[in-house]
Amino acid sequence: MKSGSVLLERAAPLLYWAMLIIALAILLRGHNEPGGGFIGGLVAVAASALLAIILDPAAALRRQPLAPLRLAMAGVGLTLLSGLPAVFLGLPYLTHLWSGGWSTVLLFDLGVFCAVWGTLTGYLYPLLEADPR
Amino acid sequence: MMLMLILSLSVLVAASVLLILSRDTLRLVVGLAMLGGAANLMVFLAGRPGSVLPPIIAAGAETLPAAANPLPQALVLTAIVIGFALLCFALVLIANLARQDARQDSDALRANEPVATDPIKPPVMEP
Amino acid sequence: MLLLLPILIPLAAALLAALLPARGQQMIGVAAALAQVLAAGTLLAVLPEGGRVSLMLGNWPQPYGIELVADTLSAALVLVSALLGLAVMLYSFGRDDQESATRNATTTPLMLGLLASVAAVFLAADLFNLYVWFELMLIATLGLLVGHGSARGNEAAFKYLALNLLGTLLVLVAVALIYAASGQLNFAALQVAGQWPDVAAGLRPYLGLLLLALLLKAGALPLFAWLPASYPVLPPAVLALVGGLLTKVAAYVLLRLSGQVFAVHELWLEALGWLALLTMLVGVLGAAYHWDVRRILALHIVSQVGYLLLGIALASPAAAAGTAYFAVHNILVKANLFLIAGLMFASAGHYDLRHIGGLYAARPLLAVLFLISAFSLVGVPPSTGFWGKFMLLREAFEQERYVWGGGALAVGLLTLYSMSKIWLEGFWKAHPEPAASAGAIPLPAYAAVLLLTGLILVMALYPEPFIHLAQVATAGFWHQGSGT
């Protein structure tokens, strides 16, 4: 579905990458300040939605690291894995470990990010493709 | 502040009940989403809102001044995420339903429960 | 960690299965279900008699953390649901040709997700966690209902969504109000808080809302319309899982909350008892009207939930033990009947009793398996249904609830009517279109039905350890103050 505006079509890929960088920044910022995986994921969804609406869903799909379902599954898998290191140290599952600037929370957040991005684009693309316009 | 929260909660619940009672599928889903919003507000109200101070104990301090209750916020966030996912699902579902039957009338959904023509025996449902 | 395995195994397997083709999915499904059975069995085995194990997720302290608790009741129910999971995974093993119209790539992952969330509901020890897992059960069931996105699947999912989402939202509102009134969400903390008379009085109206929402989820009388409207579109294996477990999960939560956590007002218990009686009657009468095997069985779910509610309404340790035994019996028997209905469809070509017949001559083994489960559902001695109903009815008559007990007996007779209808029309009479009867039954499907039938027979012929387990599991129930 083309929007018909040359400016929008040219700018969309650039905007997409800009929004993805912002999404990642929000994800990392969530470590100590407002932000985090869920909100970052939503921004990433907005970026994909922009491409999907201005160009078409296939174009947005090409620029995603994984297809929506796989992305969501990978995300949930990451969140499940992020709880495991604690178990090997004899702590309860999901106890998060910190070392310097790195932590298992980051892994968890990254998982949430991917899960949100995958799930919502998975809902979005079929709806856009089925649009009668 | 409290009054505003309570008023918006009442309006949300009233509007959502009105929409849920509708036979139109889209209205019903929007009504359920609004009821979800009302439920989230209710969770928020349950935590006795008032303070906007983040519940973080400053370095060196022993106690926390009157800070916001973080638990309801965590609960609301969880509930929002779940509600959001269900809303997306419901919207796709009613879009598919509308493609099958443009009336979008929940009373017209009778493929699973066909109207009986025989006064004694139920209609046969194909597998 | 052992406590988490019954949840984590199916969840991880669901993720893995979503990435594999159909054959791999089925293998993962069986392997994960087997692993879940082993984990749940070990959990039950290591529990000290009448004791409990708990785990604070993320090592957060008590009032903030999410706690998982396994006591005998929850561990036993996790084991039963895992065994059912194993049976349905076996049943769907190698059956993609026959059910390709109703199965797709998401079926096995969603079934595993459902198993994980059911186990999590059994192990949850706080109200909010309970709500979250109820929502996940709802999402997984909706995905299973939609299936390939056929018109009927969408319609069923819509009807299921409309009422069940309302139910979970009511749960959420009730949880919020209970938190506002008591400041607690954890079961143990709520139990302590409820001992203060003013807190208990403040909790009462909100508790009513919570019970109402759970009654909707359990399929009790005025709010069960979603159940017969949606269940019959599911393919047999999924139907056995969903129909066998979901309403019973809600009934378990009702039992746990009213029997152990909150002090429920006597008047409400009285109302619940009458509601249970009406639920039993309406369910069984609705089943008597129908000719479609799936609908008959779906309405019998409603009727059987009535027995569970009756056990809760009787409000005594003996009744609670009866409810627990009856729930286990009902999960196994009902699921087995759904699987047998699937096999009847596979060999006779239709679900409607007016279009099938001659199954006794064609498949004598299937006929015997059906009879065992049907007699268990009716409660013919010495079957599992008999022991369950015996425990409940003895308690009802001891409490001089003659109408409730008598009603339950009458419902048993009406159940016999439905089961003999299936027997006479489906198995005994000749097939109306003899050429149409065909279809081989693959071995794994028989193995699944045999597994469940074996469990039912063991529970029926050697009931003592199971009844003892149910009594241990519910030993502390109805002691939290006598219905203030």
Output the pLDDT for position C184. 86
Chain A residue numbers touching B81 (CB-CB < 8 A): 38
- Selection from B124, A132, A107, A21 nearest residue C295 by Cα: B124
Percent of chain C clearing pLDDT 70 (strictly above): 95
Does the CB of C8 have a partner CB in chain A at under 8 Å?
yes
C130: Cβ–Cβ under 8 A, 6 or more apart, which residues? Answer: C121, C124, C171, C175, C253
C479 domain residue, yes or no:
no
Domain assignment present for C482: no
Q: B112 lies in a domain?
A: no
Answer yes or no: is pLDDT of C327 > 90: yes
Return the pLDDT at C346. 86
Place of tokens 């979800």: B36
Domain count, chain C: 1
A91-105, C77-91, C241-255, C288-302: range with lowest mean pLDDT: A91-105
CB atoms within 10 A of CB B126: 9
pLDDT at B34 over 60: yes
pLDDT-derived band at A131, boundaries 50, 70, 90: low
- pLDDT tens digits along C86-143: 999 999 886 654 455 445 778 899 999 999 999 999 999 989 999 999 999 999 999 9
Label each residue of chain A as H, E or C: CCCCCHHHHHHHHHHHHHHHHHHHHHHHHCCCCCCCHHHHHHHHHHHHHHHHHHCCHHHHHHCCCCCHHHHHHHHHHHHHHHCHHHHHCCCCCCCCCEECCEEHHHHHHHHHHHHHHHHHHHHHHHHHHCCCC
User: d(Cα C288, Cα C229) in Å, to the nearest integer?
Assistant: 16
The mean pLDDT value of chain A amounts to: 87
pLDDT band at A56, cuts 50/70/90? confident
C13 touches chain B (CB under 8 A): no
The answer, for C120 touching chain A at a CB cutoff of 8 Å, is: no
The shortest C-alpha distance from A67 to chain B (Å) reads 18
Looking at the predicted structure, is the pLDDT value of residue C265 above 90? no
Tell me what percent of the residues of chain B surpass a pLDDT of 90.
Answer: 35
Residue range C61-77, pLDDT digits in tens: 777 778 999 999 999 99
What CATH number is attached to the domain comprising B89? 1.10.287
| Domain-embedded: residue A1 | no
**What is the number of domains present in chain A?**
1
Q: Which is more confidently placed, B119 or C464? A: C464
Which is more confidently placed, A103 or A41?
A: A41
Query: Quick one: pLDDT at residue A132?
Result: 55
Q: Is residue B101 part of a domain?
A: yes
Amino acid at C6: P
Q: How far is C78 from chain B (nearest CA, A)?
A: 24
Mean pLDDT of all residues in C232-236: 89
- pLDDT at position C38: 96
- Of the spans A7-21, C423-437, C439-453, which averages the highest pLDDT? A7-21
Query: CB C162 to CB B106 under 8 A?
Result: yes
Residue C103 is predicted with a pLDDT of 55
Q: Is residue A27 part of a domain?
A: yes
Lowest mean pLDDT among A112-126, B104-118, C400-414: B104-118
Asked if the Cβ–Cβ distance from A92 to C58 is below 8 Å, we say yes
Chain C residues whose CB is inside 8 A of the B97 CB are 154-155, 158
The answer to whether residue C165 is domain-embedded is yes
Q: Is residue C481 part of a domain?
A: no
Query: Residue C435: what pLDDT?
Result: 63
- Which domain covers residue B89, as residue numbers? 9-50+68-105
Which residues contact residue A64 at a Cβ distance below 8 angstroms, ignoring those fewer than 6 apart? A48, A71, A117, A121
Q: How far, CA to CA in Å, does C192 sit from each of A118, C188, C195, C218?
A: 43, 6, 6, 27
Instruction: Note down the domain range covering C220.
Output: 5-473
pLDDT digits (tens, 9 = 90+) for C374-424: 999 999 888 999 999 999 999 999 999 999 999 999 999 999 999 999 999
**For position A74, what pLDDT does the model report?**
92
* C480 within domain boundaries: no
Amino acid in the structure at residue C269? L
Cα-to-chain-centroid distance, residue C60: 32
Amino acid at B48: R
Does C58 contact A76 at a Cβ distance shorter than 8 Å?
A: no
What residues of chain C, 442 to 461, have a C-beta less than 8 Å from chain B? none
**For A73, which of C4, C19, C58 is closest by C-beta distance?**
C19
Beta-carbon pairs below 8 A across chains A and C: 34
- CB contacts, 8 Å: A119 with chain B: 85, 88
Binning pLDDT at 50, 70 and 90, where does residue C484 land?
very low
Is residue C79 domain-resident? yes
From B123's Cα to the closest Cα of chain A, the distance in A is 34
- Say whether B48 sits in a helix, a strand or coil: coil
Contact A123 B95 (CB under 8 A): no
Residue numbers in A near B95 (CB within 8 A): 127, 130
Residue A63 has pLDDT above 80, yes or no: yes
C-alpha span between C26 and C94 (Å, rounded): 8
The Cα angle at residue C238 between residues C232 and C242, in degrees rounded to 5: 80
Q: How many domains does chain B have?
A: 1
Q: Show the domain range for A12.
A: 6-129
| pLDDT tens digits, C47-58 | 888 788 888 888
Q: Cβ of B88 and A120 within 8 Å?
A: yes
- Residues in A closer than 8 angstroms to B26, CB to CB, are none
